Structure 1
Amino acid sequence: MTDPAVATAVGPVGVTAGPAGRAEPSRGGAVPVEPLRVGIVGGGFMARVHAGAARSAGARVVALASSSPASAARAATSLGVDTAHESVDDLVTDPDVDVVHVCSPNATHAPVALAALAAGKHIVCEKPLATSGAEAEALVEAARAGRLVGAVPFVYRYHPMVREARARVAAGEVGRVLSVRGSYLQDWLLDSDDVDWRVDSAAGGPSRAFADIGSHLVDLLEFVLGDRLARLTSTTNTAHAHRGGSSVDTEDEAAVVFETTRGAIGTLFVSQVAPGRKNRLLLDLSGTAESLEFSQEEPETLWVGRRSGTQLVARDAAVLTPDAARLSTVPAGHPMGYVDAFAGFVRDAHDAVRGGTPEGLPTFVDGLRAVRVTEAVLASAASRRWVDVP
């Protein structure tokens, strides 16, 4: 999700994802001073999340810009940021900013990020990276050309038990993956009088539910499996034709059937109108040896199923695989959740800015991938046919 800041704005994936999602080092831009200095575009909930995660990672949040000088000033005061810029252009060209975090509405992501890349800034851009594949491709190429870090907060990768699931799949413990079931359910747009800028395609893009939360689900699935969706068929549903007196042209729900490049089959379902479901992201996969299930609302455990019985594996760095243990920043028994996952992502993104190669950092390449899958879902729903995923 992103913040309601409207920005107008007229460089390289220094970090690019390899076959296993491993990052390549950045070599572009000026050598950043320590601690890193962050500028945020946006003034709402996600701006607050990014500011907290950046500070947790040891960075200084030095500047903020929003939809107007007044809203920037209010947000800067609320978040304890010293400089409120009058425009986004002022922020992205600020010599005291090393990394720009883009938390503005979806349609502004590409122009803001391109302007920041042109100014030699590293970028953390909220998803969706862009509202079209062409825009997302332009961002990947611009970041790559400037050898600048471009990261996208698919933060559910940063739950330790997700890394544990990924390691078990990679090690062959589940056997050959046969099937996958994924869902992401929310209820914040259940009623017809629930209105948000994301509902309007002019601000949020042609897809709402799938671009907003389905992108997280697909990224998580492909990250854990080390596999890709190869082809899919889908259908979408809009619960309310009108919201707040305006016509609705984006989907509330999407259902997808897919095949992967390695022959697994599966289903995905996303909804923003599921009563009582606040943020239920669930991934359930079955292999020839065992099954795994992870629920974001219960992130401290991983369910493991075998024909001979089941096991609930609790987060404990002493028994987890190294990458899962790395992200376990507090002792077992002290619950970790979304805020910790977000902080872990920002630590890795900022490490990449310094030239590090953090394992599993989601980059602009991954952001482009999510946009392409979203476009395939919309194309299939419109044509009522199977679609190959690029």
Structure 2
Amino acid sequence: MRTLRVLLAGSAGVGHQDHQAEMYAPGFAAHPGFRVVAEMMDPAELARPDVDVVSVCVPFERRVEVVTAALRAGKHVLVDKPVALTSGECAEIAAVAAETGLVCLPAYHQRFHPAVRAAREAVAAGRVGLPWNAQADFLVAGGGPVWPYGELLNFAPYATDALHAIAGLPVVSVYALAGHVAEDAGGGGPEDLVTLCLTHERGMTSTVVAGRTPPVAGARGLSLHRYRISGSHGTLLADATRPGVVVRSEEAARTAWAGHGTVHRMLTELHDAVTGGRPAELGPADALAALRLVEGARESIATGGVVHLDAREETSEHAERAGTR
């Protein structure tokens, strides 16, 4: 297996998160296809000749600058989620990725979960017929709020991206609700629970519940992660917390599986795309779709109405063209 050399750029994320230290650096170290060669101290290091891939977790105010600079320096990129805070910034990154033809993979690693992959294969094979409705639950027990962003930007895109991977049908409209369930939430803080009612192309509908709940006794992390797909010829239930073994310690309990986790599988896709000279399954267009959905949901929460994403995109693109004249 060809070894790709990795530069770690930054350690920032949504709120208190440090996915670089907690997920990506350990993931690269454990994967036989990668070797971490350095941590970025200066933007000039993006042009290092001994680097093939840059793992980007810089603060959002520098995200577009660093990702586009890495791409223009000839480096493939893994970008922490969300790729940017706005769809406009994400569109800038997508344009440079398309211009360079390099891999730019947003880290929505939950779509690589074996349960999600199995559901995707089953739907593609027609085992439930034509999908007409989907339900997704993505709930994490415990942990702190992600100031000032909230779980609409943090957790909900994991579920919506997985749904897109399973059904392959883009969202055209959204109605959203947001609230608080944790005891220490509220008081003007970011939402920790969101419900998204979505309409997809070809008339499929879906409901996504995502967020963070108070701690569950004896457990931590993902407490509910499942997808129910209803079709014209059957129903499929994919529970991403099973099969698994519950490992209990003095501090808490966690679920463990045999085999590789979602981050390892995502990095395998990154490696295969780079070494195979092909686009990655997951790219800037998927990140852009996720952010446009978040923005539409924000608008729906503010107005109390349904937001049509295609109309928002047309308005945004018209404004962008007008601004360049």
* TM-score bracket relative to the smaller structure: 0.7 to 0.9
Q: Establish whether residue 371 from structure 1 lines up as the match of residue 291 from structure 2.
A: yes
Residue 251 (structure 2) aligns with: none
From 96, 99, 124, give the equivalent of 2:78.
124
Q: Establish whether residue 62 from structure 1 lines up as the match of residue 10 from structure 2.
A: no
Amino acid at match of 1:114: T
Residue 318 (structure 1) aligns with: none
SS in 2 for 1:111: helix
Deviations 1:242-262 (A, max 9, x none): 87xx97553211111122212
Query: In 1, distance between residues paired with 2:103 and 2:68?
Result: 13
Q: Establish whether residue 153 from structure 1 lines up as the match of residue 74 from structure 2.
A: no
Residue 238 (structure 2) aligns with: 294
Identity among equivalent pairs (%): 27
Amino acid at match of 1:370: A
Residue 269 (structure 2) aligns with: 348
1:170 Cα shift? Answer: 1.3
1:105 Cα shift? Answer: 4.2
Conserved? CA contact 2:3–2:32, under 8 Å: no
Q: Establish whether residue 144 from structure 1 lines up as the match of residue 89 from structure 2.
A: no
Conserved? CA contact 1:240–1:248, under 8 Å: no
Q: Establish whether residue 199 from structure 1 lines up as the match of residue 142 from structure 2.
A: no
Q: Establish whether residue 218 from structure 1 lines up as the match of residue 218 from structure 2.
A: no
Q: Establish whether residue 256 from structure 1 lines up as the match of residue 196 from structure 2.
A: yes
From 229, 247, 260, give the equivalent of 1:285.
229
Query: In 2, distance between residues paired with 1:93 and 1:248?
Result: 43
Query: In 2, distance between residues paired with 1:118 and 1:356?
Result: 17
Conserved? CA contact 1:185–1:274, under 8 Å: no
Q: Establish whether residue 270 from structure 1 lines up as the match of residue 206 from structure 2.
A: no
Change (3 A) 1:59 1:388: same
Q: 123-132 or 342-351: which moved more?
A: 342-351
Structure 2: where are the runs of 5+ without partners?
A: 12-17, 245-255, 311-325
Residue 135 (structure 2) aligns with: 181
Residue 39 (structure 1) aligns with: 7
Residue 54 (structure 2) aligns with: 100
Q: 119-128 or 277-286: which moved more?
A: 277-286
Query: In 2, distance between residues paired with 1:248 and 1:136?
Result: 28
1:112 Cα shift? Answer: 2.2
Conserved? CA contact 2:155–2:210, under 8 Å: yes
SS in 2 for 1:97: coil
Conserved? CA contact 1:234–1:254, under 8 Å: yes
SS in 2 for 1:162: helix
CA RMSD in angstroms comes to 2.8
Amino acid at match of 1:353: V
1:100 Cα shift? Answer: 0.3
1:380 Cα shift? Answer: 0.7
Residue 69 (structure 2) aligns with: 115
Deviations 1:153-175 (A, max 9, x none): 22222223322211211121101
Query: In 2, distance between residues paired with 1:178 and 1:160?
Result: 23
TM-score, structure 2 as length reference: 0.80
Query: In 1, distance between residues paired with 2:118 and 2:182?
Result: 40
Q: Specify which structure has the higher proportion of helix.
A: 2
Q: Specify which structure has the higher proportion of strand.
A: 2
Q: Map 1:223-238 to 2 at 5 A.
A: 223-238=165-180
Structure 1: where are the runs of 5+ without partners?
A: 1-32, 66-85, 201-206, 301-333
1:108 Cα shift? Answer: 4.0
Conserved? CA contact 2:134–2:227, under 8 Å: yes
Query: In 2, distance between residues paired with 1:357 and 1:160?
Result: 22
Query: In 1, distance between residues paired with 2:183 and 2:59?
Result: 22
SS in 1 for 2:132: strand
SS in 1 for 2:26: helix
Conserved? CA contact 2:182–2:212, under 8 Å: no
Conserved? CA contact 1:57–1:347, under 8 Å: no
Query: In 1, distance between residues paired with 2:131 and 2:182?
Result: 38
Q: Establish whether residue 335 from structure 1 lines up as the match of residue 265 from structure 2.
A: no
Change (3 A) 1:221 1:299: farther
Change (3 A) 1:142 1:45: closer
Query: In 1, distance between residues paired with 2:294 and 2:195?
Result: 12
TM-score, structure 1 as length reference: 0.67
SS in 1 for 2:141: coil
Change (3 A) 1:114 1:356: closer
Q: Which portions of structure 1, spanning 4 or more consecutive aligned residues, are displaced by more than 6 angstroms? A: 240-243
SS in 2 for 1:297: coil
Deviations 1:30-52 (A, max 9, x none): xxx95211011234443342123
